[in-house]
Structure 1
């Protein structure tokens, strides 16, 4: 048996194939990790911005502000939010001169992939009724987001 031929036509091409497959796999893993990291960053920003938009309004602009916030929502949550603001929040804010200001001191990614993410959002909200002093509350919300048309939209908003 001619070992130089076995080496030239069998072993070397086999090793080259194995190395090429390993490089392809490592590239796939690297791209997946980068996609998840990008999703995590984008989703936490969208959750923070969206939470502030959903929970902040002034009594004189409540209808415009909360209806604009609907553009940040998708699915069944968008429908239930629309019902809530139209039936309860907007009429109450106008009638009782209620204003609310939400801030987000902290957010944390629970999970993220390129199409769906879950973010824990810590919220501080100051509510003013009429000319009374503000009432401050702190809470946390589990925000689920889905990427729709290149934008992260809120699909669920669950207090925890």
Structure 2
């Protein structure tokens, strides 16, 4: 038994000597290497978070951009509507003032009653009573002619359906064969938009 074991040991030693130098692997090193390999590198971690942040923020950014564009479009539209209201109301106030204050003995009834179609509300009724009871009869009997011009008009306030305009009026009145009389005044004209038309709802001399 002793001889056999010695012979086996000698053969094992001889085999180890015949083999090339083998790399001795420390189990603790292998375990450490495996653990290191399993941990994601810092670069990969940063890349992953950047993707997460990008996909998380992108919808918010898009919503903000859309909301901002919508608000800007709304503001541009509102400003455009206001500018249009100013322009149209000033023109309507100017034309209506000239029509209301201009007449001749021969056309007073037709022209002044046509002018009342530019009015709305209680002022329309008041103007109708004035021209029917005073202006038209006086123009015919006393041969009165009046010519109004508007050298300037300025918008005071304007929204889509309501506006106020300051109108500066020059009026020349001729009674019969008398010399013309010139007057200058300013009128604050209030207008309301109805069925696409700017109509006068207030006419206050200043």
Bin for the TM-score computed over the shorter chain: over 0.9
For these two proteins, the number of residue pairs brought into alignment is 160
Give, in whole Å, the separation in 1 of the partners of 2:49 and 2:78.
Answer: 42
- Answering whether residue 152 of structure 2 is matched by residue 106 of structure 1, we say yes
Q: Name the TM-score, length of structure 2 as normaliser.
A: 0.75
> Which one of the candidate residues 104, 109, 112 is aligned to 1:58?
104
- Answering whether residue 72 of structure 2 is matched by residue 26 of structure 1, we say yes
Deviation of 1:5 (Å): 4.6
Give, in whole Å, the separation in 2 of the partners of 1:6 and 1:143.
Answer: 62
Q: 4+ residue stretches of structure 1 with deviation over 3 A?
A: none
Give me the CA root mean square deviation.
1.1
Matches of residues 1-160 of structure 1 in structure 2 within 5 Å? Answer: 2-160=48-206
More strand by proportion, 1 or 2?
1
Give, in whole Å, the separation in 2 of the partners of 1:119 and 1:3.
Answer: 62
Structure with larger RCO (C-alpha < 8 A, sep 6+)? 1
Q: Name the TM-score, length of structure 1 as normaliser.
A: 0.96
Q: Which runs of 5+ in 2 are unaligned?
A: 1-44
More helix by proportion, 1 or 2?
2
Deviation of 1:92 (Å): 1.2
